[in-house]
């Protein structure tokens, strides 16, 4: 086993993901309160003072809400792309001050080594300053986390390829979104090429990415208003079955809980 993985929160109202290894306790995003992050970590037996860093995907509220509190309380490194830092600094009412020594910069397509894990950030299309997804490598294992993206392309799918665990966004059901109560501009934003992935497209992407060493695919960042877990699961499952993938026993398809720790995966 190289990695330990779980979601502490995943959805349009807050995201926080944990990746651990022998020498690391990392978070991707902290878009819930600092207290909820601490509670989630306590559930899996991780002391927040042993965190080695938080990797930020982008500056939207549901990804950074607790970052300031955690940075001030634990003085841990926070990694984000240059324009994401600029955007966060302009929104200091959400996160408050982040100590200067905690601010670490990552660049798209430049891997960074954190103890025993190599972290690779890569750009994704989303209506934020400089959003990224991340892949994590340790020995021959790879975990990828990609949420908040309007679409994929060859570059993104190459970065996601050969993962042993993928957390992929399945944000909305198009029909629920279209008949739902959201205002027109917001529907257009979500459906747009820099918005969010719908269930069908998430299924098609997973189908293309499937390979025999993919152990777990977790659907995440579900919309509270325009999706629900059983629908996301079934829609993606149907896409996989259509390509003869869903029936393999060596592969698990899961849906992340919106709040609270989902299953813990050892990869």
Binding mask 136-165 for Zn ion (x = CB under 5 A): ------------x-----------------
The interface mask with Zn ion, positions 99-118, x = CB under 5 A, is: --------------------
Q: Exposure of 10 by Cβ count < 10 A (0-12 exposed, 13-18 middle, 19+ buried)?
A: buried
198 three-class SS: strand
Count of residues that bind Zn ion according to CB under 5 A: 3
Structure tokens at 7: 């979601």
| Six-digit token string for 235 | 């829609």
Pick the closer one to Zn ion by CB: 62 or 239. Answer: 62
Per-residue interface string for the shown chain with Zn ion, residues 43-62, x marking contact by CB under 5 A = -----------------x-x
Q: Which is nearer to Zn ion, 49 or 193 (CB)?
A: 193
CB of 46 to Zn ion, least distance (A): 23
Nearer to Zn ion, 21 or 57 (CB): 57
Report the alpha-carbon distance of residue 96 to residue 86 in Å, rounded. Answer: 14
173 Cβ contact list (under 8 Å, min separation 6) = 198, 199, 226, 227, 231, 232, 235
Nearer to Zn ion among residue 66 and residue 246 (C-beta): 66
Rounded CA-CA distance 61/23 in Å is: 29
**Which residues contribute to the site for Zn ion (CB under 5 A)?**
60, 62, 148
């Amino acid at each position: 086993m190289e990695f330990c993985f779980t979601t502490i929160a995943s959805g349009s109202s807050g995201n926080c993901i944990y990746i651990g290894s022998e020498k690391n306790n990392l978070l991707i995003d902290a878009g819930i309160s600092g207290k909820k992050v601490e509670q989630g970590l306590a559930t899996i037996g991780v002391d927040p003072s042993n965190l080695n860093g938080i990797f930020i995907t982008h500056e939207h509220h549901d990804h950074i809400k607790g970052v300031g509190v955690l940075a001030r309380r634990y003085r841990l490194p926070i990694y984000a792309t240059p324009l994401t830092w600029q955007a966060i600094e302009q929104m200091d009412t959400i996160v408050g001050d982040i100590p200067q020594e905690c601010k670490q910069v990552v660049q798209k397509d430049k891997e960074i080594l954190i103890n025993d894990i190599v972290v690779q950030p890569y750009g994704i299309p989303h209506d934020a300053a400089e959003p990224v997804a991340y892949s994590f490598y340790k020995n021959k294992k790879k975990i990828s986390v990609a949420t908040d993206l309007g679409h994929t392309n060859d570059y993104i799918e190459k970065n996601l390829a050969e993962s042993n665990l993928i957390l992929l966004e399945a944000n909305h059901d198009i029909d629920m979104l279209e008949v739902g109560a959201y205002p027109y501009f917001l529907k257009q934003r979500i459906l747009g090429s820099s918005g969010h992935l719908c269930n069908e497209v998430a299924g098609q992407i997973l189908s293309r990415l499937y390979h025999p060493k993919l152990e777990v695919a977790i659907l995440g960042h579900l919309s509270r208003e325009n999706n629900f877990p059983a629908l996301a699961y079934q829609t993606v499952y149907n896409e996989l079955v259509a390509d003869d993938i869903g029936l393999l026993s060596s592969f698990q398809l899961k849906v992340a809980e919106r709040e609270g720790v989902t299953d813990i995966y050892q990869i």
